[in-house]
């Protein structure tokens, strides 16, 4: 099992010789600009609006958001997705985005050969818009789009129906909070379990806190990610990815599969 994060732009991936992926997961910039924190309590000192505005008021999450090019992003992703097989489950992408961006993501995917897609909704039991709770219905959902070429992606449902909505449970204290838009490891693991098998490759081109890489590695998948911001990269590498606890059951299962494969190969 490999887990690598690079302090570099995904467009420079060629020099690292990473393999092609069964699944690419990415959380693209939501283009919130200087209103990124909106009515989040972090806008105010100690989360209390009576204390006045904090240092985060009127600021964007990242100074690199304006440099993000959706076309270049999809160029990379479609280049590093595995080829569609003649039989069996195909590779897929999952792109987290704002609700308003979903159609843009779908349209851009089609331009790059990802002709099919469907939406995912993640339901929270909390909201970052609590300061507007007495003014309007507050947002408590996240969104993503599953994209693929033509053949349906690999799908592990263990005989059970899977709905297009998932519960968004927060991580526990064992997971460091590194990134303002950090996705919970439990949510990411559920998606990775559905669309990949042990030993498959997962890539996150905009890795941020590294939660995707940790989720994949703990499930016995090879994981590769890119993070251009030095501070996020250091925290991901030294805090998030330093505490990986591999799923031993996954390794045992994979070992048995490999033993069976060798037995059949020897018989042939």
Residue 33 has pLDDT above 50, yes or no: no
Range of the domain at 13: 3-28+68-267
Distance CA 124, CA 48 (A): 22
Residue 213 has pLDDT above 50, yes or no: yes
Q: Does residue 44 lie in a domain region? A: no
Q: In this structure, are residues 23 and 196 in contact, taking their beta carbons and an 8 Å threshold?
A: yes
* Number of Cα atoms under 13 Å in the Cβ half of residue 114: 31
Q: Does residue 124 lie in a domain region? A: yes
CATH code (residue 213): 3.40.50.150
The pLDDT-based confidence of 64 (bands split at 50, 70, 90) is: low
Residue that wins the pLDDT comparison between 55 and 118: 118
Q: What is the pLDDT of residue 36?
A: 47
Q: Does residue 231 lie in a domain region? A: yes
Residue 53 has pLDDT above 80, yes or no: no
pTM: 0.83
Query: Over the stretch 226-241, which tens digit does the pLDDT of each residue have?
Result: 999 999 999 999 999 9
Q: Does residue 38 lie in a domain region? A: no
- Percent of the chain's residues with pLDDT above 70: 80
Torsions phi, psi of 130, nearest 5? -60, -25
Q: Does residue 45 lie in a domain region? A: no
Q: Does residue 196 lie in a domain region? A: yes
Q: What is the pLDDT of residue 37?
A: 53
The sign of the torsion formed by the CA atoms of 11, 16, 22, 23 equals negative
Q: What is the domain count for the chain?
A: 1
Q: Does residue 97 lie in a domain region? A: yes
Q: Does residue 203 lie in a domain region? A: yes
Residue 187 is encoded by which pair of tokens? 């949510």
Residue 203 has pLDDT above 50, yes or no: yes
């Amino acid at each position: 099992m490999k887990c690598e994060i690079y302090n570099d732009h995904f467009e420079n991936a060629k020099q690292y010789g990473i393999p092609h992926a069964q699944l690419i997961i990415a959380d693209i910039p939501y283009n919130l600009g200087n209103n990124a924190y909106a009515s989040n309590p972090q806008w105010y000192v100690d989360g209390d609006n009576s204390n006045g505005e904090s240092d985060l008021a009127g600021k964007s999450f990242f100074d690199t958001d304006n440099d993000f090019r959706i076309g270049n992003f999809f160029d990379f992703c479609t280049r590093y997705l595995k080829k569609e097989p003649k039989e069996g489950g195909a590779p897929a992408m999952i792109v987290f985005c704002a609700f308003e961006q979903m159609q843009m993501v779908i349209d851009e995917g089609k331009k790059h050969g990802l002709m099919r897609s469907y939406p995912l909704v993640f339901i929270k039991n909390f909201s970052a818009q609590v300061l507007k709770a007495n003014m309007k219905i507050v947002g408590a959902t996240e969104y993503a789009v599953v994209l693929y070429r033509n053949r349906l992606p690999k799908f592990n449902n263990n005989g059970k129906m899977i709905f297009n909505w998932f519960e968004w449970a927060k991580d526990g204290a064992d997971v460091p909070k590194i990134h303002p838009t950090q996705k919970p490891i439990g949510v990411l693991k559920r998606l990775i379990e559905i669309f990949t098998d042990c030993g498959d490759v997962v890539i996150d081109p905009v890795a941020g806190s590294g939660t995707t890489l940790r989720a994949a590695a703990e499930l016995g998948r090879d994981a590769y990610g890119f993070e251009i911001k030095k501070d996020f990269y250091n925290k991901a590498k030294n805090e998030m990815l330093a505490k990986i606890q591999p799923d031993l059951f996954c390794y045992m299962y994979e070992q048995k599969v490999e033993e069976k494969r060798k037995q059949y190969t020897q018989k042939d």
